[in-house]
Amino acid sequence: MIFLFISAIAIFLSVMFGGTFALKFKDKLHLILGFSAGSVIGVAFFDLLPEAFESGKNLYQTETIALYIILGFIIYMISDRTLTSHSHHEENCENHNHRGILGAGSISLHSLVDGLVVGLSFQISTAVGIALAVAIFAHAFSDGINTVNMIIRSGGETKEARKWLLLDSLTPVLGIFASLLISIPVNVFPILISIFCGFFIYLGASDLLPESHHNHPKIWTTVSTILGIILIFIVTRIAGI
């Protein structure tokens, strides 16, 4: 129980530090967006994708997992284009930051699942729980950055970004302690992870990445994106040791 409590605090602080970092250096938002795009894509391919196939290998065919990943991509794409299809030339349009809310909300939901995964892994064994907690802690910093970027980039104010950052910081904690009361059926877990993988592929490649180099030097945003991918790759490799 003590390790579960420590994990909850550590992940909460990691998300908060990441978001605070993004707010402090928001004048360099294009570089942070490039890094965010890389980290989101990295999480999708180095964390969620392997976990989806590994957890579902004895339950579903490879093609089935791939279909759920595509389904997640399509669901996010339709939601994104539906909520942002109208023009936002009007200054007081109340829907001007729907895309940012959609992105931040998706990350927060993912963080909730992260917390559930950590909590449930401790039910398997302390060693497995600690290993997963370390992995989640490492990329939770990027989750904080990404949450803030989603709001700021879409025209949201700093106050609103801080509210979403707090929510994203709390959701993994809620997930961890909710795991003490509920359990995810074995056959549902790989489906959920696959759908979130699709979410993140769309979020990084179709949203953050194009936005990062819009009207900015592409070479530096490209470097930032590559650094984001490399960081997540290193983190997942270390956490997997």
Identify the pLDDT of residue 88. 43
Task: Scan for tokens 């997930």, then name that residue.
Answer: 175
pTM beyond 0.85, yes or no: no
**pLDDT tens sequence across 87-132:** 444 444 455 457 678 778 888 887 888 788 788 778 766 765 776 6
Confidence tier at 24 by pLDDT (50, 70, 90): confident
Local confidence band at 214 (pLDDT 50, 70, 90 cut-offs): low
**Which of these, 25, 31, 77, 43, lies nearest to 212 by C-alpha position?**
31
Rounded CA-CA distance 69/24 in Å is 34
Give tens-digit pLDDT for 39-96.
878 888 988 898 889 889 889 999 999 999 999 899 878 876 765 544 444 444 455 4
Which amino acid belongs to residue 144? Answer: G
Quick one: tokens of 102? 């959609």
Query: Which H or E run contains 7?
Result: helix 2-24
Encoded amino acid at 195, one letter: I
Residue pLDDT, tens place only, 148-201: 888 887 778 888 889 999 999 999 999 999 988 877 677 888 888 888 888 888
Specify whether the CB–CB gap between 14 and 172 falls below 8 A. Answer: no
Phi, psi dihedral angles at 53 (to 5 degrees)? -70, -40
* pLDDT at res. 47: 81
